[in-house]
Amino acid sequence: MGALTIGIDIGGTSVRASVVDDRGTMLDTLRAATPPTAQALEHCLDRLTGELTSRWTAEAVGLAIAGFLTPDREIVRFAPHLPWREARVAAEMSARVGLPVFAEHDANSAAIAEYRFGAAARGHNTLVLAIGTGIGAGLLLDGEIYRGSYGVAPELGHLTVVPDGRPCSCGKRGCWERYCSGTALVDNVVELLADDDWGRSQLAADVAADPGSLTGRRVAGAAADGDAVAAAAMAGFAGSLGQGLAMIADIFDPDLIVLAGGVGAASGLFLDEAREHYARLVTGPGHRQLARIRGTQLGESAGVIGAAEIARQGLLRTSER
Ligand SMILES: [Zn+2]
């Protein structure tokens, strides 16, 4: 067996750390709530790493971070849900824990994991879309992460799909993730309920009794049960997904699209409909090959497994120098 590495997926609500082997198997996993300050978050990362290295011999640590990193991944410039600003996260952690530490954008980590061990294997130009609260995107061109010129590509969730549409936390309006995410499913239901009387919908009755019970997961569950308002919300979502995929196909012409994230994992509910919209809206339909679209194989573990793989690749690069 090759070296073991530690992958840590740092999300806005939770931190997950795992010892992972060279086949992408998670051997030991720890979780913690994401602390609110940089100092407490760094202490949390050190503690999880220390606990894992007390039980396993790991040679490096990879961090999957939801934020903007410089192209060399040395500095976390900005992370909307994390306390780091212009922070030298990897080097500082390496000095504290005594192991090499490598950082990567979380969507890129997930894309690398799916490419090495999951649904993106054998893809050439592959887009991994993580659809959850918002949209995260990782793009692999011939197996290599595409970062753009300044390290922030591809920020697909904030493409404008509806001019003057729903307001977005990024400050713009009508962004794709406001129509194609778990949050969008909730907004779709709220708008549908305001427009019409959905007398026989269980979801409508539940929302009337307890508005706080309405979540993307609940809408997906109700759609699976055949609820009419949930199905209509899901149809809107599928239409927007297909619209976005057609735009992306016109720019990158991928051969494989993997849908990941909490909503992406429920792709059985919307994939056929989204594919129809995609096939119709792409430029020159019927005269070009379309990307295969499939669901994630690694699910919510993709970020952790990808981070560990980045640590492994980082070690290899260092040893080759
Ligand atoms: Zn936006």
Distance (angstroms) between ligand 1 centre and the Cα of 155 equals 9
Distance (angstroms) between ligand 1 centre and the Cα of 118 equals 29
> How far, in Å, CA of 281 to CA of 240, rounded?
11
51/83: higher pLDDT: 51
Taking 70 as the threshold, does the pLDDT of residue 209 lie above it? yes
Q: What is the CATH number of the domain that holds 38?
A: 3.30.420.40
Predicted confidence at residue 11, as pLDDT, reads 86
Distance (angstroms) between ligand 1 centre and the Cα of 238 equals 19
Count how many Cα atoms sit within 13 Å of the Cα of residue 49 in the half-sphere of its side chain: 27
Predicted confidence at residue 155, as pLDDT, reads 85
Give the SS3 label for residue 31.
strand
Predicted confidence at residue 143, as pLDDT, reads 84
- Condensed to tens digits (0 to 9), the pLDDT of residues 8-17 reads 999 888 999 9
For residue 127, which of 240, 254, 244, 245 has the smallest C-alpha distance? 254
Distance (angstroms) between ligand 1 centre and the Cα of 46 equals 33
- Condensed to tens digits (0 to 9), the pLDDT of residues 83-131 reads 999 999 999 999 999 999 999 999 999 999 999 999 998 889 999 998 9
> How far, in Å, CA of 31 to CA of 112, rounded?
22
Residues 43 and 164 placed together within one structural domain of the fold = no
Taking 70 as the threshold, does the pLDDT of residue 1 lie above it? no
Residues 267 and 193 placed together within one structural domain of the fold = yes
Residues 90 and 156 placed together within one structural domain of the fold = no
Residues 141 and 264 placed together within one structural domain of the fold = yes
Which pairing describes strands 256-260 and 292-295: parallel, antiparallel, or unpaired?
Answer: parallel
Distance (angstroms) between ligand 1 centre and the Cα of 49 equals 34
Distance (angstroms) between ligand 1 centre and the Cα of 270 equals 23
Residues 292 and 310 placed together within one structural domain of the fold = no
Residues 273 and 312 placed together within one structural domain of the fold = no
- Condensed to tens digits (0 to 9), the pLDDT of residues 260-300 reads 888 877 888 999 999 999 999 999 998 999 999 998 999 88
Distance (angstroms) between ligand 1 centre and the Cα of 245 equals 17
Predicted confidence at residue 263, as pLDDT, reads 83
Predicted confidence at residue 123, as pLDDT, reads 83
Rounded to an integer, the average pLDDT of 168-176 is 92
Q: Mean pLDDT of all residues in the chain?
A: 93
Residues 204 and 264 placed together within one structural domain of the fold = yes
The total number of structural domains in the chain stands at: 2
Element (H, E) at 228: helix 228-252
Residues 151 and 282 placed together within one structural domain of the fold = yes
> How far, in Å, CA of 188 to CA of 172, rounded?
19
Residues 129 and 171 placed together within one structural domain of the fold = yes
Which pairing describes strands 135-141 and 125-131: parallel, antiparallel, or unpaired?
Answer: antiparallel
> How far, in Å, CA of 231 to CA of 92, rounded?
48
Distance (angstroms) between ligand 1 centre and the Cα of 175 equals 5
* Structure confidence at residue 60 as a pLDDT band (50, 70, 90): very high
Rounded to an integer, the average pLDDT of 169-174 is 90
Predicted confidence at residue 148, as pLDDT, reads 86
Distance (angstroms) between ligand 1 centre and the Cα of 7 equals 29
Residues 103 and 144 placed together within one structural domain of the fold = no
Residues 33 and 147 placed together within one structural domain of the fold = no
**pTM of the complete model:** 0.87
Predicted confidence at residue 81, as pLDDT, reads 79
Residues 19 and 95 placed together within one structural domain of the fold = yes
Predicted confidence at residue 151, as pLDDT, reads 80
* Structure confidence at residue 259 as a pLDDT band (50, 70, 90): very high
| Domain around 234 | 121-296
Distance (angstroms) between ligand 1 centre and the Cα of 83 equals 20
Burial of 217 (0-12, 13-18, 19+ CB in 10 A): middle
> How far, in Å, CA of 235 to CA of 237, rounded?
5
Distance (angstroms) between ligand 1 centre and the Cα of 281 equals 22
CA 188, 201, 212, 259: dihedral to nearest 10 degrees? -50
- Condensed to tens digits (0 to 9), the pLDDT of residues 240-251 reads 999 999 999 999
Cα three-residue angle 221-225-231, rounded to 5 degrees: 80
